[in-house]
Structure 1
Amino acid sequence: MKIAIIGAGAAGIIAAITAKRLNKNIQVDLFDANKGIGKKILASGNGRCNISNSHVTPKNYLGENPDFTTYALKEFDFKAFEKFCKSIGLLLDIKETNKVYPLSNEAKSVTRLLELTLDSLGVKVYLDSLIKDINKENEKFSIKTADKEYTQYDKVLISNGLGAAPQLNANESGLDFASKFEHSFNPTYPSLVGLHTDVTYHSRMQGVKKECNVSLFINGQLEQEIFGDVLFTKYGVSGFAILDISQVAAYNLSLYQDVKIAINFFPKLHRNDLSDQIQSLFKTAPKQKALDILTGMISNKIAPVLLEICKIQEDTKAEQVNAKQIKAISYQLNQWKLKITDTQGFGHAEASGGGVRTDEVDNRTYESKKCKGLYFAGEVLDIVGNRGGFNLQFAWASGYLAGKSLVRKS
């Protein structure tokens, strides 16, 4: 039996290893457009390699049908992943947050051990090999690069991801291949990414970072609330809270919905209590500028923008600010609303949403329901995980099941 795997990311690598371990006599060819394997593995966790998460459920995923992940996450749960890692000599560091890293704290050690395992099993790895086309004739597949054709494959696994991180040669060719075999797919969108807002004061607040509560509104309805870091940027907002909320925000932007966020700078304070505190501060120093007093509460980059929004002059003294204006200040700090107009795009995204529709793929074997011998795994499917190692865990799990299926005689 002869198998081709397109994409040497987490899903493709574990599929190749699993298949060869189950049947050492089959030929497995692994193709990747990069000069090395696992480029997105290397980039995960800011280079520290957030390789998985020790507590994963289908609720950690988005897509047309997140429950598609249930069987894979059960069959290849964290214990199974940990066992796999030990089998290649990789020890793990499990954090209290459930995020999982290599004990070495270096992503390179992960890809190096995977490389050694592939080599020891006799998997043929073709690097710098961007696949341009796939064909099937007389029950056999052939795949083409720009200058070479590889033929006589019994089965093909498409695991080359989607468009997030094009600087790592990420592309959406997997969708083109899927379409060729009559698969449909849902529109793709950047996920875990910074968000653009429609205000004009971006540059004035750039660099400010604060732990806040962020609420997401879709067509005026509250959809999600997240607490975490918010970073103001020259284009809008980023930070961990924004990356987390961006998944639902970006998905709805792709559907042309009205998307807004509201940032609460003081989530532990009720709006009325915040108003009382501001009023008390102003009474303590009535002759001081309101602007200067506010910088004791919030960033000196935010304070002038805050006064501008509340229609208060920067040189206004504290004693000149009336009760209605103080309520306006506290309201703004409690619910700083921003309209989301766009994302930072695939070039800055950690993952891609959308992809091959999961109802056209078997959730136990990951074989296509449209074309016998064709398989899909990982990000190319319409499944995207939350931040924190969930995307890689689905890649490992789906790749593992695909690898098991690839060696079965059909």
Structure 2
Amino acid sequence: MNKIYDVIVIGGGPAGIMASISAAKEKNDVLLLEKLPKIAAKLKATGGGKCNLTNTLSTEDFMGKFGKNGRFMTHALAAFTADDLRDFFLSIGVETIARDGFRVFPADHSSSIILKSLDDEIARLNIEVQCSVDIQTIQKIDDIFIINSKDTIYNSRNIILATGGLGYPTLGATGDGYIFAKEFGHEVTSLHPAMMPLFTKEKNFARCKADTIAKAILKVDIPKYKKLKLTGDLIFTNNGIRGPVVLDFARELTPILAKYDEVPLLISFLKGMNEEQIYTHIKKEIEKNPTNTVLENLNTLLASSVAQEICNICDVDSSQRFKNIDGIKREKLIKTLAWTPLTVIGHEGFKNAMITRGGVELKQIDSKTMQSSLVSGLFFCGEVVNIDGPCGGYNLQWSFSSGNLAGKIGKLY
């Protein structure tokens, strides 16, 4: 007869690793199964290899960044706070630091020390790890879960699904966890790629790639979604826009793009200056330098490349003096400087999506334990559930906190 484990964790990402460690600390016999040849492939790539583990926000503010589903995290975060996470890593030899007072990284800004320390902790706790395991089916017979892979059958009293989402398929994302959840009767919400660059219909700003727009404001120009607004640094690409504000806003836009072919945006490159403020600023510049061209005046507000493209949009000759511009064009220029229209038309899908929007329906999971309310002994953690946050350590903290909570399985026999 095959060995019966106390806990089998499926998925060797941050949530699965933490769930394994937590379960082992509860004196369970733990097996961690990973589809790839090594665990923690996606963790290694997080934050460009620098590994932004968490941040310094209060728990209330932290949950608020996750939108309406944020309250579900209450128990997981209470049991394993950002300070607890930093203490945990310090206990296994990793010092952390928040140089900007917000984002928390390993002190040496490298994910390599994180991976080595987690490997050492897994070994210390005698957690069995098997990689390159392609699971085909999971079923529960009596009180035992039977996991069938291509090569082996595994048995366990409890299983934790920590399979992640669909983003970065090259790092092992296949969506298996959603299939397994559905087979046990769980609902899975619609799934959308998130945290990635966006393609725009307009290509003229491709000439502005060298200029980062600090604190740009993006808002959706559709009445139904008029409340969607975000501020942050924006960067232009050959095909559209990227940068922190775009990565975060993509979480909101990809579900809308699934309904519409295009999503019109309005962007303030001037930190929300209104038309009157812009006009007043230009008027003062003209008073100081009466012979300056339109472009020279606008350069006091914007990078030259961006200013030139806005002039092009408005069919304004940037070499002219401001007073010589046709009144209608001048009015359009001021209006476009205040809010520049851009139209999002697509993205690369899950290929380069850092996270997945959507997942296993939360109403069927006990937030106090991360256990299924439909199947006893079935637990979830990390990105596989319907929770996703912005850039800045939010998603990793959730993975570690939910993994820690899911792994707190005491022996009942």
- If the length of structure 1 is used for normalisation, what is the TM-score? 0.90
**What one-letter code is carried by the residue in structure 2 that aligns with 1:214?**
I
Q: 2:40 aligns with which of 18, 38, 41?
A: 38
State the Cα distance separating 1:84 from its structure 2 match: 2.0
The count of residues paired between Structure 1 and Structure 2 equals 405
State the Cα distance separating 1:8 from its structure 2 match: 0.9
The answer as to whether partners of 1:37 and 1:115 remain within 8 angstroms in 2 is no
Distance 1:81 1:366, change over 3 A: same
Equivalents in 2 of 1:399, 1:42: separation in Å? 18
Q: 2:165 aligns with which of 162, 166, 171?
A: 162
State the Cα distance separating 1:295 from its structure 2 match: 4.9
Alignment of 1:100-249 (within 5 A): 100-145=104-149, 147-217=150-220, 219-220=222-223, 221-249=225-253
Equivalents in 1 of 2:312, 2:221: separation in Å? 27
SS state of the match for residue 386, structure 1? coil
The answer as to whether partners of 2:219 and 2:267 remain within 8 angstroms in 1 is no
**What one-letter code is carried by the residue in structure 2 that aligns with 1:309?**
I
Equivalents in 2 of 1:47, 1:16: separation in Å? 23
Distance 1:160 1:296, change over 3 A: same
Equivalents in 1 of 2:391, 2:203: separation in Å? 29
Distance 1:89 1:333, change over 3 A: same
Deviations 1:357-384 (A, max 9, x none): 0111111111111222211100000000
Deviations 1:289-315 (A, max 9, x none): 645654564334334432232133466
The answer as to whether partners of 1:218 and 1:252 remain within 8 angstroms in 2 is no
CA RMSD of aligned residues (A): 2.5
User: Which runs of 4 or more aligned residues in structure 1 lie more than 6 Å from their structure 2 counterparts after TM superposition?
Assistant: 283-288
Equivalents in 1 of 2:221, 2:70: separation in Å? 20
The answer as to whether partners of 2:9 and 2:32 remain within 8 angstroms in 1 is yes
**Which residue number in structure 2 is paired with residue 382 of structure 1?**
386
Deviations 1:305-361 (A, max 9, x none): 322321334665555313442232121111012222223422222211100001111
Deviations 1:208-234 (A, max 9, x none): 321143132263243233332111112
SS state of the match for residue 133, structure 1? strand
**What one-letter code is carried by the residue in structure 2 that aligns with 1:305?**
E
Structure 2 residue 63 is the aligned partner of structure 1 residue 51:
no
Q: 1:322 aligns with which of 318, 321, 326?
A: 326
**What one-letter code is carried by the residue in structure 1 that aligns with 2:412?**
K
**What one-letter code is carried by the residue in structure 1 that aligns with 2:95?**
L
Equivalents in 1 of 2:229, 2:137: separation in Å? 43
SS state of the match for residue 251, structure 1? helix
**Which stretches in structure 2 are left out of the alignment for 5+ residues?**
none
Please say which of residues 391-400 and 128-137 is displaced more in the overlay.
Answer: 128-137
The answer as to whether partners of 2:199 and 2:347 remain within 8 angstroms in 1 is yes
* Identity level (%): 25
Structure 2 residue 342 is the aligned partner of structure 1 residue 342:
no
**What one-letter code is carried by the residue in structure 2 that aligns with 1:77?**
T
The answer as to whether partners of 1:195 and 1:242 remain within 8 angstroms in 2 is yes
State the Cα distance separating 1:242 from its structure 2 match: 1.6
The answer as to whether partners of 1:286 and 1:318 remain within 8 angstroms in 2 is no
SS state of the match for residue 230, structure 1? strand
**What one-letter code is carried by the residue in structure 2 that aligns with 1:58?**
M
The answer as to whether partners of 1:357 and 1:381 remain within 8 angstroms in 2 is yes
State the Cα distance separating 1:182 from its structure 2 match: 1.0
SS state of the match for residue 356, structure 2? strand
**Which stretches in structure 1 are left out of the alignment for 5+ residues?**
none
The answer as to whether partners of 1:19 and 1:403 remain within 8 angstroms in 2 is yes
**What one-letter code is carried by the residue in structure 1 that aligns with 2:119?**
E
**Which residue number in structure 2 is paired with residue 89 of structure 1?**
93
SS state of the match for residue 404, structure 1? coil
**Which residue number in structure 2 is paired with residue 262 of structure 1?**
266
State the Cα distance separating 1:71 from its structure 2 match: 1.3
The answer as to whether partners of 1:278 and 1:326 remain within 8 angstroms in 2 is no
Please say which of residues 192-201 and 389-398 is displaced more in the overlay.
Answer: 192-201
Alignment of 1:10-89 (within 5 A): 10-23=14-27, 26-55=28-57, 56=59, 57-62=62-67, 65-89=69-93
**What one-letter code is carried by the residue in structure 1 that aligns with 2:121?**
T
SS state of the match for residue 121, structure 2? helix
Equivalents in 1 of 2:382, 2:210: separation in Å? 35
- If the length of structure 2 is used for normalisation, what is the TM-score? 0.89
State the Cα distance separating 1:279 from its structure 2 match: 4.6
Please say which of residues 317-326 and 237-246 is displaced more in the overlay.
Answer: 317-326
Equivalents in 1 of 2:152, 2:67: separation in Å? 36
State the Cα distance separating 1:244 from its structure 2 match: 2.2
